[in-house]
Structure 1
Amino acid sequence: MFLVEMFQRKTTMPTAAEALAGRAAPVETAAVHVVTGRSLKPPFAGGLETAYFAMGRFSAAERLFWPLPGVHVTATGYAGGLTPNPTYQEVLSSLTGHTQTVMVVFDPQQLSYEALLKLFFEHHDPTQTMRQGNDIGTFFRSAIFATSDDQLDRALKAREAYQAALKQAGHSGRIVTEIAPATAFYYAEASHQQHAARNAGAQPAARGTGVRFPDPG
């Protein structure tokens, strides 16, 4: 019974009454990006946009974004939950409601939001509920947190387009990616920032479906 309850907790979002209390002060994190040396926190230069993507382990997902031309900085953290300023261990309890999330600050004059959405949908399996492969839990759920109405609209359209591509390719899965306006983003601890750049044997990103995102042209 204990194991059943633990499994259910890992794949069931907590209610406000169940969520951990958290704390008023942010957890300690790094000041700059290990690879670029740029500040992880705002203020950022004018004209830049921020996007948030959750697609499995954030340590693996983050390194997909920072090499892209037009990306100013990336960071790992927690979003979509209830507990203020959670720690990594608290998030893994499934009692904060957060999912492991990558913040991407980019220049839309050099890199389109659609290009980021393409990378997102192709590099994990958005049809898996509360998991990516063997990684199971609410904190591994697929999500896009939009920072503007425009991003929200484009993300919803991208989800529809990729669902159509999956169907055409004979993939029976339904996309379960959560798409919602961004609320609070809490930076992960320093040890989780650009983890893959500091650990040669770091785990690769989650496996995608093998279906390409449709060409908008």
Structure 2
Amino acid sequence: MFSRHTSTLVEPEQTLPGRSERMFPVPARHRVLDAPVVTDDVPEGYEVAIFGLGCFWGAEEIYWKTPGVWSTSVGYAGGSTLNPTYDEVCSGRTNHTEAVRVVFDPKVVSYADLVKTFFEVHDPTQGFRQGNDVGTQYRSAIYFTSPEQEQVARELTAVYGAELAKRRLGEITTEIRPASETPYYYAEDAHQQYLAKNPFGYRCHANTGVKFPEVS
């Protein structure tokens, strides 16, 4: 139905228009964590982090296994189309990237640790791809939800970027933007906790192999 493997973003006025309401239901409960999947209201003291790091199936699994994470979901972030579908995102005509939304308790796991994990488990230098997955929907992205998160994200990006530069592994292409600039849209039921339903399913963990360096 749609052309895939798009390697450039389109102008916002050329994106698909989408629709005013979501076309499909989202499951009420998380299959692994037994928390709400739709987390527009989060527990007091908890925070939300949104990351794009390639195929969202494997990305979500990494974060739901992280101690201190209360809930995860997969969805679409950073684009223009209203309430997009998976096929529309894969067409490259919505400008969204596949994303994971993480609700976490900062008393147990810090935002900095989530960002460090983000850099270690994917390759942030590949632009519009992760490994064999090619397209704008696979781009690396951090959508921060507070000024404090922005500061941490930018500082740690600089640290990891310097480490990659020392090893001549390329420049970081991660998009860093406020989450408030574009809505996060929850993906279809089939994609939520996909690897809990299909434990032998596809995981793309293209990465540089470089651990995050110690930060003094």
Could you state the TM-score of these two structures normalised by the residue count of structure 1? 0.93
**Partner in structure 1 of residue 6 of structure 2:** 10
Residue 157 (structure 1) aligned with residue 178 (structure 2): no
Match of 1:134 among 132, 135, 138: 132
**Partner in structure 1 of residue 205 of structure 2:** 206
Residue segments in structure 1 that go unaligned for 5+ positions in a row: 1-5
**Partner in structure 1 of residue 37 of structure 2:** 40
| Superposition deviation, residue 181 in structure 1 | 0.4
Could you state the TM-score of these two structures normalised by the residue count of structure 2? 0.94
Task: Give 3-state SS (helix, strand or coil) of 2:171's partner.
Answer: coil
**Partner in structure 1 of residue 172 of structure 2:** 175
- CA distance in 2 between counterparts of 1:62 and 1:166 reads 25
CA RMSD of aligned residues (A): 1.5
Instruction: Show CA shifts across 1:32-85 (max 9, x none).
Output: 111122111232210000000000000111100011111000000000000010
Match of 2:54 among 53, 56, 64: 56
| Contact kept? 2:5, 2:134, Cα under 8 Å | no
| Superposition deviation, residue 17 in structure 1 | 2.2
Residue 29 (structure 1) aligned with residue 26 (structure 2): yes
| Superposition deviation, residue 9 in structure 1 | 7.1
| Superposition deviation, residue 8 in structure 1 | 9.5
Percent identity between matched residues is 45
Instruction: Show CA shifts across 1:171-192 (max 9, x none).
Output: 3300000001003100000000
Instruction: Show CA shifts across 1:93-146 (max 9, x none).
Output: 000000000000000111001110111000000000100011100000000000
| Count of matched residue pairs | 211
**Partner in structure 2 of residue 81 of structure 1:** 79
Residue segments in structure 2 that go unaligned for 5+ positions in a row: none
Residue 95 (structure 1) aligned with residue 96 (structure 2): no
- CA distance in 1 between counterparts of 2:200 and 2:5 reads 30
| Contact kept? 2:4, 2:91, Cα under 8 Å | no
Match of 2:67 among 49, 66, 69: 69
- CA distance in 1 between counterparts of 2:206 and 2:129 reads 12
Residue 215 (structure 1) aligned with residue 211 (structure 2): no
| Contact kept? 1:123, 1:205, Cα under 8 Å | no
| Contact kept? 2:7, 2:128, Cα under 8 Å | yes
Amino acid at match of 2:152: R
